[in-house]
């Protein structure tokens, strides 16, 4: 993968130029993001190269304020004239925008002053030939799992890096380099019962933290084969175990429900839920922005506000929201350092996956969710699903073409077990999650 074209100093100088230009053109305040991204993506299918992609992106985004009026513009042209024109375009928008009493930069006293090294940058100098061989190795390992794997959607090896700077007219300047790498495969198995597909992946900041290409392929192959012979189950109310990769979606729904924009618009079923029991008493969730090599680590948020480690949920009780400066002002609260979203979320485990299966007894293990039947205002939840039927703690057969339904309030409070099978590649580190009951619609 190619190195960056611009040094941190060049991006910093560019950001400072934009801020000075904004002031010169009459802005009362301003902020600027400048970044460069480089990457390589290689995919193979059935042993043949399908795609080789390289990307090299750069961009500058400038936000200006005229009092309480705000304008934004961006450009991928780093020439001085283009930057001057972008500032002018942002100011033109601001002049025709209505005043908003909550608009403005973050409070200066909340801006980060400490910048610990979170070990986020590990470039992977991977020649394209080596990437192709890795992808082929991954796919071949999956195909070798079982003779019923006779087709593939391919294997992909991706490596990318980003260099960025954020600065504002309060004197804040933050910058960093980061990297992300991944290997994935999707395989197709077929027998007399029909055709099934499944996938697996590994993702990390550093190449050394990735699972081997062969292990990723094998896992994808095993997952595809075990879905053969899938059938439906009788409609009823059953305990449901969400496998770790899909359990993270439940945490995502909670994040959406307690994020600033949903709260001030009153478009969330968890409005005014601070200090109340939102989850079952076994649930504890920590936000840790300082996790080394974490997928969502950072010493400051998208506005330069210092991040903090927070115990967001303790024994099921909600202790904090996710707020930017704007949403906090709308709510009459303080920013939580979450402009740009949550940082690494860590959910305490209560059991192993095998113990959760025993605790489940007879019910459904969900390994895939389909569709988006979620009403965030009411919490109503209904999604297509696939997975496995479990009896007396033992997986019996694959299940497909079913729907699971309930309400997120009840689902959160109905959590009776959380596994230790956490995926380290996720920014939402939660293991498989057992819900006491959901409505399952099948035959």
Contacts 24+ apart (CB under 8 A), 130-133: 131/40, 131/42, 131/157, 131/159, 132/42, 132/44, 132/49, 132/52
pLDDT means per 10 residues, the chain with 443 residues, are 84 98 98 98 98 97 97 98 98 97 97 97 96 98 96 97 98 97 98 95 97 98 96 96 96 97 97 97 98 97 97 98 98 97 97 97 96 94 97 97 97 98 93 97 90
- pLDDT digits over 94-116, tens only? 999 999 999 999 999 999 999 99
Is domain 8-225 classified as CATH 3.40.718.10? Answer: no
Q: What is the pLDDT of residue 424?
A: 87
Residues 60, 32 contacting (CB under 8 angstroms)? yes
Give the chain's length.
443
**56 CB burial (10 A radius; 0-12, 13-18, 19+):** exposed
What is the torsional sign of CA 186, 371, 416, 338? positive
How far apart CA 439 and CA 381 sit, in angstroms, is 10
Q: What is the pLDDT of residue 336?
A: 97
Q: What is the pLDDT of residue 1?
A: 43
How far apart CA 187 and CA 189 sit, in angstroms, is 7
* Alpha-carbon 270 to chain mean position: 21
What are the residue boundaries of the structural domains of the chain, listed by start?
Answer: 8-225, 230-443
Token representation of residue 323: 């707020």
Q: What is the pLDDT of residue 3?
A: 84
Helices (H), 100-164: 128-143
- pLDDT digits over 26-40, tens only? 999 999 999 999 999
Say which residues have a Cβ less than 8 Å from residue 165's Cβ, sequence separation at least 6: 8, 11, 12, 14, 15, 32, 33, 34, 35, 173, 174, 175
Between strands 433-441 and 394-407, the pairing is: antiparallel
């Amino acid at each position: 993968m190619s190195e960056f074209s611009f040094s941190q100093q060049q991006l910093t100088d560019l950001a400072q130029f934009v801020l000075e230009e904004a002031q010169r053109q009459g802005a009362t305040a301003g902020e600027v993001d400048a970044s460069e991204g480089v990457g390589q993506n290689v995919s193979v299918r059935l042993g043949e190269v399908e795609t080789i992609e390289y990307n090299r992106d750069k961009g500058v985004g400038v936000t200006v304020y005229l009092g309480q009026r705000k304008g934004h513009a961006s450009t991928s042209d780093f020439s001085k004239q283009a930057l001057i024109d972008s500032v002018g375009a942002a100011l033109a928008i601001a002049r025709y925008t209505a005043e908003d009493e909550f608009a403005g930069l973050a409070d200066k006293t909340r801006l980060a002053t400490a910048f610990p090294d979170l070990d986020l940058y590990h470039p992977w100098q991977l020649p394209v030939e080596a990437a192709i061989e890795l992808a082929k190795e991954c796919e071949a390992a999956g195909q070798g799992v079982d003779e019923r794997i006779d087709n593939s959607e391919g294997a992909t090896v991706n490596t990318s890096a980003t260099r960025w700077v954020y600065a504002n007219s309060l004197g804040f300047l933050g910058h960093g380099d980061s990297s992300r790498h991944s290997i994935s495969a999707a395989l197709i198995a077929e027998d007399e019962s029909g055709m099934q597909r499944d996938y697996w992946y590994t993702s990390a900041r550093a190449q050394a933290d990735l699972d081997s290409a062969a292990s990723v392929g094998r896992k994808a192959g095993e997952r595809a084969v075990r879905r053969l012979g899938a059938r439906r189950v009788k409609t009823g109310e059953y305990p449901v175990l969400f496998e770790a990769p899909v359990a993270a979606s439940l945490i995502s729904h909670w994040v959406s429900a307690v994020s600033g924009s949903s709260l001030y618009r009153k478009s969330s079923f968890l409005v005014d839920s601070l200090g109340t029991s939102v989850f079952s008493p076994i649930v504890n969730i920590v936000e840790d922005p300082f996790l080394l090599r974490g997928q969502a680590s950072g010493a400051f948020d998208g506005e330069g506000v210092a991040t903090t480690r927070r115990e967001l949920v303790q024994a099921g009780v909600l202790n904090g929201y996710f707020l930017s400066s704007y949403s906090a002002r709308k709510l009459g609260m303080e920013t939580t350092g979450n402009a740009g979203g949550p940082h690494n979320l860590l959910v305490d485990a209560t059991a192993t996956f095998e113990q959760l299966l025993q605790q489940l007894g007879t019910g459904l293990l969900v390994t895939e969710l389909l569709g988006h039947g979620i009403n965030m205002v009411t919490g109503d939840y209904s999604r297509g699903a696939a997975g496995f039927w479990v009896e007396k703690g033992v997986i019996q057969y694959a299940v497909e073409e079913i729907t699971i339904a309930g309400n997120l309030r009840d689902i959160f409070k109905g959590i009776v077990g959380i596994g230790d099978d956490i995926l380290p590649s996720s920014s939402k580190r939660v293991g498989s999650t057992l819900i006491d009951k959901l409505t399952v619609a099948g035959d």
